[in-house]
Amino acid sequence: MRSDFSQLVRQARKGDSEAFAKLYSEIYKDLYYYALCNLNNQDDAADAVSDAVIDAFAGIKNLKDENAFKGWMIRILTAKIKRKQAEYVQVRDNTSSMENDEGEIIDIPVSEGKYMGIEILDRIESLSPNEKMCFSLNVLYGYTSDEISAATGINSATVRTHLARGKQKLKRELSAEFE
C-alpha cells in the first residue's frame, strides 16, 4: 500500500486530480476529526478541511517528500484551524451578543460544544486550543512531540508541556465524573 501511496503522490504532483482525490480519500476522516476536535463545530471543521484541501491541491507540486503527504496536510489544516480559532477569540472579545432587526439582544453561537455523546471528546472542550491540538495529534493520531512541533510550529518542549497539562486536566475531570 505504501508504494501505491507514493505513486499517487508522484502522479498528483504532476497535476493528476484523480490521484489527489485518491490520496484525500485515504485521509479525509482523520483530517475532519482533527479539525472537529479542535474547533468543536461541524461546519467550521468541514470548512477548514475544505480550505486545506484546496491549498494542498494548489501546492502539491511543491511537496518534496512523497512519504510526508499526511503530515503536510496536517500542517496545512493546522494553519486553517489556528486562523479559525483566532476568529473565535476575536468574536468573543469584540462582541458576545448583538442586536437583531427587532432590537432584541441575541447571543452569537461560537461553538457547538458537544460531540454527539462521545464523552471523552466532550471533555476535550475543557482544554486550551494548544492543548487540544497537541492532545488530538498525539493521542488520536499517534504523532510524537517532534512531529507535532513540525506540524504546528510549537516548540517540541512546549508540546510536551501542553500534552502533560492536557492529560492531567482530562484525568481530573474523568476521575471526578466517576467518583
Q: Give 6-31 pLDDT, tens digit per residue.
A: 899 999 999 999 999 999 999 999 99
Q: Give 83-108 pLDDT, tens digit per residue.
A: 988 887 765 554 444 444 445 444 44
For 23-47, b/e burial (b = at least 16 CB within 10 A) is bbeebeebbbbbbbbbbbbeebbee
Q: Residue 40 has what pLDDT?
A: 85
What share of the chain has pLDDT > 90, as a percent?
42
Q: Give 153-171 pLDDT, tens digit per residue.
A: 899 999 999 999 988 988 8
Alpha-helical regions (H) of the chain: 2-13, 17-39, 42-59, 69-94, 119-124, 129-135, 145-152, 156-177
> 74: Cβ–Cβ under 8 A, 6 or more apart, which residues?
31, 34, 137, 141, 143, 151
> 144: Cβ–Cβ under 8 A, 6 or more apart, which residues?
138
Mean pLDDT rounded to a whole number for the chain: 81
Q: How many other CB atoms sit within 10 Å of the CB of residue 148?
A: 26
Q: Residue 91 has what pLDDT?
A: 58
Residue type, 149: S
Segment 64-88 shows an average pLDDT of 89
Residue type, 55: D
Rounded distance, CA 166 to CA 144, Å? 15
**Which residue in the block uniquely carries the three cell numbers 508540546?**
159
Domains of the chain: 1-113 (1.10.1740.10), 114-179 (1.10.10.10)
- Whole-angstrom CA distances from 88 to 77, 110, 134, 162 are 17, 7, 19, 20
